[in-house]
Amino acid sequence: MKIVKVEPYVFKVPLVKPFRIFLAEVRSKDHMVVKVETDDGYVGVGEIGPLPEFAGESGATCLAITKERLAPALIGQDPFDIEKLIKRMDAAVKANHLAKSAVDFALHDLLGKILGVPVYKLLGGKYREKVPICWAMGMKSPEEMAKEAVEYVKKGYRCLKAKVGLDPKMDIERIKAIREAVGDKVERRADANQAYSPEVAIQVIKKMERMNLDLQ
């Protein structure tokens, strides 16, 4: 069995509402889907959502790298040799980890379909029946974030992550408002997306600790 086709597709998904982080205000997201097909007609699918402000890769760069560098490294190869294929991709182009991840996902999906098993069985087996999720809130005023926190706790979320980083003093107010709105029974986190210097991070974390923030 050999890989005969690697097809990447890029499309843009508009967000229902803008999502503000320190690095940018996100209004839409590029996504890339990669299909890896074998000579027996099996097709594996992988997907990524690149954000250039965060990881340095865009939909356009992922598309070009996959077409020009990664696909040629895979054509004619055995899809079961994933570790070998990863090394071939690394030899074909440095970095570009998101583009490579999409192919990696597609290869695992392909193997699962060939073997007739879910991918988790290829990764050591099932560990849990459910996966806890955390609602991420883009930066807004403390009042708006508190209102959003209440809304999503009512929907069943027991973990909230607040984006912070533009103003340390206002960030403290955001976290304080969220705590006052939902209490300590809801797990609360903060994500500054690399905004703080080490000195500012230490100062802010010390103040956030008093608010029973989850600081893993």
Quote the percentage of the chain above a pLDDT of 70: 100
- 107 shares its domain with 153: no
What integer pLDDT is reported at residue 121 of this predicted model? 97
- 157 shares its domain with 197: yes
Q: What is the pLDDT of residues 70-99, one digit of tens each?
A: 999 999 999 999 999 999 999 999 999 999
- 103 shares its domain with 176: no
Q: What is the pLDDT of residues 93-143, one digit of tens each?
A: 999 999 999 999 999 999 999 999 999 999 999 999 998 899 999 999 999
- 97 shares its domain with 147: no
Q: What is the pLDDT of residues 151-191, one digit of tens each?
A: 999 999 999 999 999 999 999 999 999 999 999 999 999 99
What integer pLDDT is reported at residue 161 of this predicted model? 97
- 43 shares its domain with 74: yes
Mean pLDDT, the chain, whole residue set: 96
- Whole-angstrom distance, CA of residue 163 vs CA of residue 145: 10
- 47 shares its domain with 112: yes
Phi-psi domain of 38 (left: phi exceeds 0; alpha: psi -120 through 50; beta: other) = beta
Q: What are the C-alpha distances in Å from 36 to residues 45, 98, 102?
A: 7, 16, 10
Of 92, 123, 154, the residue at which a domain comes to its end is 123
Residues 34 and 107 sit within 8 Å (Cβ to Cβ):
no
- 66 shares its domain with 167: no
Task: Quickly count: other Cβ atoms within 10 Å of residue 174's Cβ.
Answer: 26
214 in a domain, yes or no? no
In this structure, what token pair is assigned to residue 26? 């996100």
Beta-carbon contacts of 135 under 8 Å, excluding residues fewer than 6 positions away, are 152, 157, 159, 160, 161
16 band by pLDDT with thresholds 50, 70 and 90: very high
128 in a domain, yes or no? no
- 91 shares its domain with 195: no
In this structure, what token pair is assigned to residue 204? 């802010």
What integer pLDDT is reported at residue 23 of this predicted model? 81
What integer pLDDT is reported at residue 216 of this predicted model? 57
Number of structural domains the chain divides into: 2
Q: Looking at residue 105, which CATH number applies to its domain?
A: 3.30.390.10
Q: Which domain holds residue 154?
A: 135-209
Overall average pLDDT of the 41-53 stretch: 95
**Predicted TM-score of the model (pTM):** 0.88
